Structure 1
Amino acid sequence: MRRDRLMSWSMPVLGMIGTVLVWWAATVVFAIDPFLVPSPADVLASFTAQPGYLLEQSWVTLVETVEGFLLAVAVGIPIAVVIAMSKVLEQIVYPLLLIVNSVPKVAIAPILVVWMGFGQAPKIVMVFLLCFFPIVISTAAGLKSTPAELADLVKSLGSTRLQAFFKVRFPNALPQVMVGLKTAISLAVIGAVIAEFVGADAGLGFVIVQSGASADTALAFASMALLGVISIVLFYGLSALERILLPWVEDQR
């Protein structure tokens, strides 16, 4: 068990180190101009030149990401419950969800800026739009996957529909819910950056746009590396929460 846990942490770290080494070797062997692809040393130098500024922008993006994700959880899970409980509502709501999800979010971003201005609101809504669909779909699928024999057993014991939901259906759906949450948290960072590309005065997406305009490729890469760190921390934070709340899932794996 301890060895498996060590492997689960060490292998991703080794993979990242290997990727950085290959990247570094490629810039040296092929003599790639730093203007096109900076070396890891150039990116690190760009970060150390202004760490306070980049960390401040990282915090802006992180707050937008978390707030939009939590909003999607607060709205998406209740809607998924309603869909799972009613076949009629499922037939009504599912096509609408598919339509909203199929619209390219890059096309929505300028409209959100027109409606809400250049503050945090359009960024949070963009994150919400990207996270909402996977949360609803995974939660609804989990709620509808309750084994028939288990549902019949609870019904035979005289439980109410509400008791059956909270004691059987929702606990049984939690592993599937967590799959949706982990999918959504990966998309959340993308949503925040898309919104910052279109209209923002802060955030890592804003930094990437500005560094592209000034041809500071190293700063853009440093911002992208920080976005990767944010994604990894949020994803593995959810994974740790899953192990705490659902220890039996880890045992089954």
Structure 2
Amino acid sequence: MKARLKKWTGDYGLFLLVIIALISIWECVVSQGMIPAFILPAPSAIWGSFVENRQLLLEVHLPATLKEVLIGFGIAVISGLLLGVGMHFFRALEKVLYPFLVISQTVPLIAISPIFIMWFGYSIWSKIAVTILTAFFPIVVSTYDGLKSGGKEYRELLLTMGANRWTIFQKIQVPLALPAIFSGLKLSVVYCVVGATIGEWLGASVGLGYFSRRMSGNLQADAVFAAIFLLSLLGILLFLLIGLLEKQLLKNKIRS
């Protein structure tokens, strides 16, 4: 336990000190009137707004945003992995779909979100559609690139032993591609939070994005920052969860 604590302190102690210093400077600058509170509220004011609105934020808006993120991420993971594997196995599919994948990322989300609202209305699916579009690309690309790169020597060895393509895929390419795939998943889950927030900004009646838009319209900067803090915390926790899953899965792969 002491060794773990020492390691954690060595890894993140400096980061925590910097964060504490920045928050202290921030609080001091705002309290001294160097920056108007309606532009940048003090951390104490943000915390006060969070405490005041905690029931609304934690019981109403956060669950709505989390639901959109998880559904969108789940659909993006399944479809992204399947498409990445399909592009790996079928060269024609890769040549046809890869340009479309790149094009899909050149369209600004702020421009395409109203189209999803026209298609799906103000239901949850318009926000999920934005989330999927945001999260889909890194999963497909990381899966395809991870399967495509590395393992050439192992592949040739298994071919000389009479292995078929499926065996090579299962025994060599998938294990070697896992780090790349998980990198894509970690990026994707953070993008999901961004996509859900943008969807809520443009058309929603609930969610942290909707709450922050309504509070900004009322010029309540402290409440806006409280919602932003929750969104950031949500993204960090989901990122850490995927990282923990990656660590556990790769550890099991090494043992086996």
TM-score tier after normalising by the smaller chain length:
over 0.9
Instruction: Return the offset for 1:191.
Output: 0.3
Between the aligned residues of both structures, percent identity stands at 33
**Distance in structure 2 (CA, Å) of the matches to 1:248 and 1:146:** 21
Instruction: Return the offset for 1:11.
Output: 4.1
Does the 8 A contact of 1:193 with 1:204 survive in 2? yes
Instruction: Return the offset for 1:21.
Output: 1.8
- Which residue of the partner structure matches residue 109 of structure 1? 113
- Which residue of the partner structure matches residue 188 of structure 1? 192
Unaligned runs of 5+ in 2: none
- Which residue of the partner structure matches residue 21 of structure 1? 24
Deviation sequence 1:165-202 (CA, Å, 0-9, x none): 11111111000001111111111111001000100000
The answer on 1:7 being equivalent to 2:5 is no
RMSD: 1.8
Q: State the AA in 1 paired with 2:43.
A: P
The answer on 1:41 being equivalent to 2:44 is yes
Match of 1:36, SS? coil
**Distance in structure 1 (CA, Å) of the matches to 2:14 and 2:183:** 22
Matches within 5 A, 1:193-204: 193-204=197-208
Deviation sequence 1:102-152 (CA, Å, 0-9, x none): 111111111111110112111111111011001111110000013211101
**Distance in structure 1 (CA, Å) of the matches to 2:170 and 2:20:** 45
- Which residue of the partner structure matches residue 142 of structure 1? 146
Does the 8 A contact of 2:75 with 2:132 survive in 1? yes
The answer on 1:163 being equivalent to 2:163 is no
The answer on 1:125 being equivalent to 2:129 is yes
Structure 2 vs 1, CA of residues 155 and 6 (structure 1 numbering), >3 Å: closer, same or farther? farther
Structure 2 vs 1, CA of residues 224 and 10 (structure 1 numbering), >3 Å: closer, same or farther? same
- Which residue of the partner structure matches residue 223 of structure 2? 219
Deviation sequence 1:55-93 (CA, Å, 0-9, x none): 121121111111111110000011001111222221111
Q: State the AA in 1 paired with 2:191.
A: L
Does the 8 A contact of 2:175 with 2:253 survive in 1? no
Residue in structure 1 matching 2:90, options 86, 93, 118: 86
How many equivalent pairs are there?
250
Deviation sequence 1:187-239 (CA, Å, 0-9, x none): 11110010001000000100111001111111001000111110110111111
Matches within 5 A, 1:226-245: 226-245=230-249
- Which residue of the partner structure matches residue 32 of structure 1? 35
Residue in structure 2 matching 1:67, options 71, 74, 80: 71
Instruction: Return the offset for 1:249.
Output: 9.8
The answer on 1:54 being equivalent to 2:57 is yes
**TM norm structure 1:** 0.93
Instruction: Return the offset for 1:22.
Output: 2.5
| Runs of 4+, deviation exceeding 4 Å | none
**Distance in structure 2 (CA, Å) of the matches to 1:117 and 1:247:** 44
Unaligned runs of 5+ in 1: none
Match of 1:246, SS? helix
**Distance in structure 2 (CA, Å) of the matches to 1:159 and 1:249:** 21
Q: State the AA in 2 paired with 1:69.
A: F
The answer on 1:100 being equivalent to 2:101 is no
**Distance in structure 1 (CA, Å) of the matches to 2:159 and 2:213:** 58
Instruction: Return the offset for 1:156.
Output: 1.7
